[in-house]
């Protein structure tokens, strides 16, 4: 079951500059911000916690990364919406019954979370990510 909007991701050219803009916009403190790199996606990210959700700013580390290609094609802006689940495998099985298949096998995302993306062609032209937090 989907339990929460985990984050809304925005692709940016310059993470430091975008982070300053969003700190000013949201009034976020340093305690609300977490920086990370996601080698599998070739991005550097900043998460700004707002209530139970986050805004994720993503800067490509490699010109061949999916985020770099997104920026080249569309420019800065909304990249994806991430929905939280406690059981990613169960959600993949559930959506498969609805003929909604992920773009690839689950992988490791920021914060060592298990993630999978769904094709925007199947989701109203919005890239959707399912996120499963680590079981601690």
2-132: CATH topology: 2,3-Dihydroxybiphenyl 1,2-Dioxygenase; domain 1 (3.10.180)
pLDDT (tens digit per residue) in 74-87: 999 999 999 999 99
Three-state DSSP class for 116? strand
- Within 61-108, strands assigned E span 77-85, 107-108
For residue 27, is it left (φ>0), alpha (ψ between -120 and 50) or beta? left
| Domain residue spans of the chain | 2-132
Rounded CA-CA distance 81/94 in Å is 19
Residue 135 pLDDT grade (very low, low, confident, very high; cuts 50, 70, 90): low
Decide if pLDDT at 115 tops 90: yes
Task: Read off the tokens for 84.
Answer: 């939280």
Averaged pLDDT score across all residues of the chain: 94
């Amino acid at each position: 079951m989907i339990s929460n909007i985990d984050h809304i991701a925005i692709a940016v050219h310059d993470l430091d500059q975008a982070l300053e803009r969003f700190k000013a916009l949201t009034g976020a403190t340093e305690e609300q911000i977490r920086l990370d790199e996601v080698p599998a996606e070739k991005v550097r990210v900043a998460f700004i916690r707002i209530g139970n959700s986050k805004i994720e700013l993503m800067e490509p580390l490699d010109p061949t990364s999916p985020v770099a290609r997104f920026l080249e094609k569309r420019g800065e802006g909304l990249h994806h919406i991430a929905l939280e689940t406690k059981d990613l495998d169960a959600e993949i099985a559930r959506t498969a019954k609805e003929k909604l298949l992920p773009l690839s096998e689950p992988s490791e995302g920021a914060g060592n979370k298990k993630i999978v993306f769904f094709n925007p062609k199947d989701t109203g032209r919005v890239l959707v990510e399912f996120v499963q937090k680590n079981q601690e």
